[in-house]
Amino acid sequence: MTEELLDQALVEEATKKSGLIWVRGSGAPMLQAKGHEVPSRALWHVWHDGAACLVGDGPGEQPLPGLVDGGDAVVTVRSKDKGGRLVSWAAKVVELTPGSQEWEAAVAELKGKRLNAPDGEAMPGRWARECRVLRLEPSGATSELPDGSLAAPPLPTPATTRRPIPAALPRLLMKKRKRR
């Protein structure tokens, strides 16, 4: 009993303090049917009323692949200080119904943590229409953390970070140096 309470306290404190959690949902049947493992995703969250609350799957919000209502998930939490893995725990995924009392309470917490929202005060209405709000409720003891690295290739994305520099840029930079 004491070990269960310690596990519960560790999960709650670590998840509260961490800005990101890595979540791997079990509900992506198309990926699993093709033999692919569902990858973990870094997701921002809020700890509220004994569970990690997430919002996503809408325009401009984080994707939540593999997280289905009633499904299971594995949550890995990192240390805010060192960045290393602290704890990994099993969760039950519960999708909150827009307008319900639980949804309103979770959205009030999430709204305060959402950075750079394009629509400000209209955000809860957009979330109700276009997004999903999920609770990841701890459903068991913590699991052993692996000894090795969990490094994986990045997920495919249309985003790009580098493009070739324009041909004239080196000449423009050299002119500025010569003027000084």
What does the alpha-carbon distance between residue 53 and residue 111 come to, in Å, rounded to a whole number? Answer: 11
> What pLDDT, in 10s, does the model give residues 31-77?
444 555 667 889 999 999 999 999 999 888 999 988 999 999 999 99
pLDDT tens-place string over residues 92-112: 999 999 999 999 999 999 998
The C-alpha atoms of residue 72 and residue 28 are separated, in whole angstroms, by 11
Which domains, ranges and CATH numbers included, belong to the chain? 2-179 (2.30.110.10)
- Cα angle 122, 126, 131 (rounded to 5 degrees) comes to 145
> 44 near 12, Cβ under 8 Å?
no
Output the pTM of the full model: 0.77
Q: What are phi and psi of 157, to 5 degrees?
A: -155, 150
Scanning the structure block, which residue is given the tokens 């325009």?
A: 59
Rg (CA), the chain: 20
Dihedral sign computed on CA atoms, order 148, 10, 8, 52: negative
